[in-house]
Amino acid sequence: MADEPAGSGVTDLRSDTVTAPTPGMRAAMAEAVVGDDVYGEDPTVNALQERVAAMFGHEAALFTPTGSMANQIALQLVAPRASELLCDADAHVVTYEIGAAAAIGGISTRTWAAAGAGIDPDAIAAMIRPDGYHAVPTTAIAVEQTHNRGGGGVIPLGTLRRLREICDANGLRLHCDGARVWHAHVAAGVPLIEYGRLFDTLSVCLSKGLGAPVGSLVVGSAKRIDEARVLRKRMGGGMRQAGVLAAAGLYALDHHVDRLAEDHAKAARLAEALAPFGIVAGADSDTVGTSSAVRTNIVALDLGKASMDAPTLGARARERGVLVSVLGPRGARLVTHLDASDEAVDRAAEVLVSLFR
């Protein structure tokens, strides 16, 4: 069954992209001072770009309409045409961006076996192909923080530091798809600037978790962001009075980052409720009955041994007023967010538990 918009009384746990702007955010958008951003003259966009760049310790940032565009611009900055990018098999950049790396950037990709946040830097190092051996040379590595299809897992800081060392030793660039890096920051207590200094480029999203209606940013050096501005225009992403959108992002940074801990707690409660049925992905015999398999706002479900498949779960839950994301025959996902109240999440947990009893 195709996804449909949530109606009145429905708890929508398909994604954290379904949120509506809060009244305070709408007011900030209405009051935004604007200009023509293609000319670099929108003061609200410029303020957002400067603020985000500073948060990650980089020189510059560029506002884009979508996360996929931000990722694909960044990949073109770190992986020249006809070179190779390494990433995991479940990475958003190769799973959900419709072949853009190859179609738009001319970038070849090679993947390691999907492991979510539990990546092995030394195994990745063994995949690197240098130039001059009649093979496509590796020029960049991309990781995802937090990891969407990995159940919102957080890559440990030590792992990222080891990847940085590997990239430096081999002359490679390192990109972070940080659509939900805010969640990693809150869950792991790692300062954003600490993440930022490890990467040549980052993409960060304002409409996942932070509650803005639209928008992401590419973060990097001033030189790279100058090039990114050209790439954005080429890809049709040049916007005019975009300050009304940037104002929502600034409001989100002021009001919606620290509160992500509330979404993490909601996801943990969902995981605890469902753990006895053995369907929470990442849980094992030591974590059944606990929420330790869930670190942020995503609860991944593995229905391989369950009494129903994912499409059936999706249909039955919808009948009871709960929307879940169906990811395949046996995979599903629950995502908590700003518009899913404690009461709504607890009710959703009751509905889902009743379906598996």
* Cα 321 to Cα 31, 138, 269, 270, 311, distances in angstroms: 36, 48, 19, 16, 15
β-pair type (322-323, 11-12): parallel
- 235 lies in the same domain as 314: no
- 181 lies in the same domain as 277: no
pLDDT band (50, 70, 90) for residue 3? very low
Q: What is the pLDDT of residues 231-283, one digit of tens each?
A: 999 999 999 999 999 999 999 999 999 999 999 999 999 999 999 999 999 75
Tell whether the model's pLDDT for residue 220 goes beyond 50: yes
Q: What is the pLDDT of residues 286-323, one digit of tens each?
A: 333 334 579 999 999 999 989 899 999 999 999 999 99
- 307 lies in the same domain as 349: yes
Mean pLDDT of the chain: 94
* Cα 109 to Cα 129, 166, 180, 198, distances in angstroms: 12, 18, 22, 21
Q: What is the pLDDT of residues 43-89, one digit of tens each?
A: 999 999 999 999 999 999 999 999 999 999 999 999 999 999 999 99
Residue 109 pLDDT: 97
CATH code, domain carrying 310:
3.90.1150.10
What's the domain range around 315? 259-356
- 267 lies in the same domain as 239: no
**Residue 52 main-chain phi, psi, to 5 deg:** -65, -40
Query: Could you say which of 228, 255, 282 is where a domain stops?
Result: 255
Residue 115 pLDDT: 87
Mean local confidence (pLDDT), 9-32: 97
CATH code, domain carrying 219:
3.40.640.10
Tell whether the model's pLDDT for residue 5 goes beyond 70: no
- 248 lies in the same domain as 264: no
Tell whether the model's pLDDT for residue 133 goes beyond 90: no
- 343 lies in the same domain as 318: yes
Residue 8 pLDDT: 57
Residue 345: CB atoms within 10 A of its CB come to 23
- 67 lies in the same domain as 168: yes
What is the distance between the alpha carbons of residues 161 and 198, in angstroms, rounded to a whole number?
7
Overall residue count recorded for the chain in this entry: 357
Q: Which residue has the higher pLDDT, 114 or 333?
A: 333
How many domains would you assign to the chain? 2
Residue keyed to tokens 């994301």: 325
- 160 lies in the same domain as 306: no
β-pair type (138-144, 84-88): parallel
What is the distance between the alpha carbons of residues 105 and 176, in angstroms, rounded to a whole number?
17
